[in-house]
Amino acid sequence: SSSPATITTTLFPGDGIGPEIAESVKQIFKASEVPIEWEEHYVGDQIDPRTQSFLTWESLESVRRNRVGLKGPMATPIGKGHRSLNLTLRKELNLYANVRPCYSLPGYKTRYDDVNLITIRENTEGEYSGLEHQVVRGVVESLKIITRHASLRVAEYAFHYAKAHGRERVSAIHKANIMQKTDGLFLKSCREVAEKYPEIVYEEVVIDNCCMMLVKNPALFDVLVMPNLYGDIISDLCAGLVGGLGLTPSCNIGEGGIALAEAVHGSAPDIAGKNLANPTALLLSSVTMLRHLELHEKADQIQNAILKTIAEGKYRTADLGGSASTTDFTKAICDHL
Amino acid sequence: SSSPATITTTLFPGDGIGPEIAESVKQIFKASEVPIEWEEHYVGDQIDPRTQSFLTWESLESVRRNRVGLKGPMATPIGKGHRSLNLTLRKELNLYANVRPCYSLPGYKTRYDDVNLITIRENTEGEYSGLEHQVVRGVVESLKIITRHASLRVAEYAFHYAKAHGRERVSAIHKANIMQKTDGLFLKSCREVAEKYPEIVYEEVVIDNCCMMLVKNPALFDVLVMPNLYGDIISDLCAGLVGGLGLTPSCNIGEGGIALAEAVHGSAPDIAGKNLANPTALLLSSVTMLRHLELHEKADQIQNAILKTIAEGKYRTADLGGSASTTDFTKAICDHL
Ligand SMILES: CC(C)[C@H](C(=O)O)[C@@H](O)C(=O)O
Ligand SMILES: CC(C)[C@H](C(=O)O)[C@@H](O)C(=O)O
């Protein structure tokens, strides 16, 4: 068989435990013979004027060129005069949809064993506009911006995703009973897209009710699509149902098919460099990246090996109640490939 | 012993199942000899120009005069030109804090058995300003307003409540990492009040993280205070942890010590008039009203009777998996008084 072409992929190992968990991904990809070559970029130690942040221009150019990347946790350095690294990436790369698959991990017990849903978050506008000001002393306001353009774009992505992945239902999450114009426009856009997908059930759920239903019976949901802040809240809530941000993958989709997969947990500086970190979130994120590249066989192989290793329970890191090191866990996954 | 003075209290039975569950409260209060006389008000069938809603001016005057009320579910009639009944009540009566105690009901199994928290929601501003407009076609914006006045007021209420009820910790929930000015002002106000209560632990938790922690381990929280929309979301989430809005009480606090307790679930028109409704949320709300009136003995007696009846499980309504009628359940509670 002919060997497939190598795909160049940007890798941001990130800070804290980032380099260790990135190393885990690299080893597993190597063991699985994934045809990927990494182009590694670290966060700079000074502000790059072209990005107004500690992200270097070269690293952004790398993602733009490769159209695909994987990112570990990045701690935004404290201080004024620069933007959050995560928000800079979203903005500069126009990463308009944040996709988080969230499913119960076989053998890892939480209060829920029936979670299998996808949250799709609008990632560029809404409450994250950055437009705020003081009206008079003691009175401040923030602007939430909703556009038809961004709403249609993320709705289109959600329905496309649902169809491509054999999902049956898309729920648009909103508070249009209060924010009739902004969330109303979001819903209107979703409805317009829904009409093009008659095979997908479309429903609208008010965010407060959605959160109540999620904690009572998450099996009621399939694909959820929503404005920025609701997505921020609900994606973390859903991660909590299956064990937390250390176990759940995330992938950001940009215009022109850019995909930046990322672990959304913190950089855990307290355990950095100690070979204790759990690489699962970054590993499962790398699997979503492989699926984006249509490398489904490799994705299945690696995902199965991760899930099997966790299910067996012999090699679990401390956050999951085990005593395995990052490298023990990684080796166990490699053995399951 | 001298009989205590009678307290006149406004009662809004509300729509749908409202009258039946209000009847349950009335019977139990009678059996417990609570020194309360009800002043009943129904929602009108036409818009009262003085309230711009279906609420009558007389009913608002009744709460203003009595300073205390109990409210069943009110379905806002569909159509234009009037305001939501709930929002009208909050606005007209300046109900600035919504207090929702949320605890696991002994004997009623959910996925959680360790919930015991209080959500305190700012109830008058934030994302509920009603200020929205279209900037250009396809671009709309909503204003979120945070004031120092309303933030201090609700923070003060939260700390006062925590102290009065022997609670140890107040968590302010926010997204000030994104909305630095609005949520930042909210936090600044909370910090100012926290300084006056050195015996209460004060912490700040980002809303996404809060939701994740709540579903993983709600025992981490005690009293939570937050801006309007976060309170809307988190109070429903917390209700979901212990069984839903049919089981959780709510009380709104207004300037000058007004208290309007309410069941926050819907009016369930499908089962209205069938003697099937579960009155628990309204009953437990009436208990919070009694506590507001400092009738703690009556409050304890009634609360214990409700909890015992649910715990025994012999008389449960259909929503809790039983087959008792509203009146069976009510009678069982009376027998436990
Ligand atoms: C760190 C923070 C700015 C970010 C957000 O709010 O989007 C985070 O919560 C996330 O979900 O990626
Ligand atoms: C019905 C709706 C306007 C209301 C709100 O959003 O406040 C409800 O969800 C509540 O919590 O009382």
pLDDT of B160 above 80: yes
The fraction of chain A above a pLDDT of 90, given in percent, is: 89
Q: How does pLDDT run across B207-220, given as a tens digit for each residue?
A: 999 999 999 999 99
Integer Cα distance of B120 and B163 in angstroms? 14
Q: How does pLDDT run across A192-226, given as a tens digit for each residue?
A: 999 999 999 999 999 999 999 999 999 999 999 99
Check residues A101 and A49 and name the one with the higher pLDDT: A101
Contacts of B127 (CB under 8 A, 6+ apart): A144, A175, A178, A179, B142, B144, B227, B228, B229
pLDDT of B267 above 90: yes
pLDDT bracket for residue A76 (50, 70, 90): confident
Put simply, the chain B residues between 284 and 303 with a CB less than 8 A from any chain A CB are none
pLDDT of A1 above 90: no
The fraction of chain A above a pLDDT of 70, given in percent, is: 97
Question: Mean pLDDT across chain B, nearest whole number?
Answer: 95
Find the CB nearest B216 among A178, A235, A244.
Answer: A244
Among A52-56, B4-8, B293-297, the range of highest mean pLDDT: B293-297
For position A116, what pLDDT does the model report? 98
Range in A112-116, B4-8, B254-258, B317-321 with the lowest mean pLDDT: B4-8
For position A45, what pLDDT does the model report? 84
pLDDT bracket for residue B1 (50, 70, 90): very low
Q: Which atom of ligand 1 is nearest to the CA of A236?
A: 11
Residue A102 and residue A249 in contact, taking contact as beta carbons nearer than 8 Å: no
Q: Which atom of ligand 2 is nearest to the CA of A178?
A: 3
Residue A245 to residue B144, Cβ atoms within 8 A: no
Integer Cα distance of A303 and B64 in angstroms? 62
Residue A92 and residue A295 in contact, taking contact as beta carbons nearer than 8 Å: no
For position A75, what pLDDT does the model report? 84
Q: At what angle do helices B326-336 and B18-31 cross, to 10 degrees?
A: 20
Integer Cα distance of A198 and B106 in angstroms? 45
* Ligand 1 centroid to residue B175 C-alpha, Å: 9
Element (H, E) at B39: strand B36-40
Q: How does pLDDT run across A274-301, given as a tens digit for each residue?
A: 999 999 999 999 999 999 999 999 999 9
Residue A215 to residue B215, Cβ atoms within 8 A: yes
The fraction of chain B above a pLDDT of 90, given in percent, is: 89
pLDDT bracket for residue B4 (50, 70, 90): low
pLDDT bracket for residue B80 (50, 70, 90): low
Determine the average pLDDT of the residues in A260-280.
97
